[in-house]
Structure 1
């Protein structure tokens, strides 16, 4: 499958990006894989994860992959794969001491071998204030670079604001030659 069959869905917190991504995946067919990158390090996050699982309902298989998303791709025969979200994945990479640039390159290479369409969810964190701390600024910068590399690699990019999708990128129409 070409990278042009994969899509990035960007937006801010609570913008509706996961809901949009789920609707896209559900439109592809009944067998869908949800790859979650979140880890429950506290009770509030555990509650969020449980709520998200309950909201998905039937037709979704779920796998947790906080660091190694690519190995989850081949595990299931599906109509679509949804990765939610690259922002938490990046945070996990940085906290584990991994190099985000190298890991992003590996991730993009891994996308090339997937036969199902993949929908990637990521936060756009660069629209707000400059973070106060060096770690916050480093994270914001890495997130911006990650989003740019993924957006360049995939065929479609949607930006979600107030629950409304805006198409930022669509595949070039083939010339038929």
Structure 2
């Protein structure tokens, strides 16, 4: 494997930004499918794929999500072309016979709710990061956020799926670069890293 082109690295990392404001350019259903088709290829432990995604494209769905968020984030959600709920299925193990068929991975999690919860959180977080990178790779921008009531989101979107819990939320669209401020600092390697 060889390193990707510097322009691709810039699009994915060094020049990419999180956005609070978007242009009026629409995001299509085909775009959402394309994001999923990339993000699902990212590795998760034992191919667990615990993330459950709600793509809020209608004004009604965005308003329902905005009602669960802080005032500042609620405005971002309402104004974005798409808002996204990245949730996690604590019963992901039920799908492992299909998703990880070469061994009995389901048995690792049967009867162990604590292990399932930890693994669902870890791996759905990875999938949420893959969503961000897939969107960037496809020429879209995101604005991942906290600042919401997870229990309220669960009630609003997953009341019929008690094993599904919200991890985090994000906005999605074509970022309005005119609204960007300076990039926040990124520390040098030696500050937060240890080579043992």
Q: TM-score, normalised on structure 2?
A: 0.28
The structure having more radius of gyration, on CA atoms, is 2
Greater relative contact order, per chain length (Cα 8 Å cut-off, separation 6+): 1
Greater strand content:
1
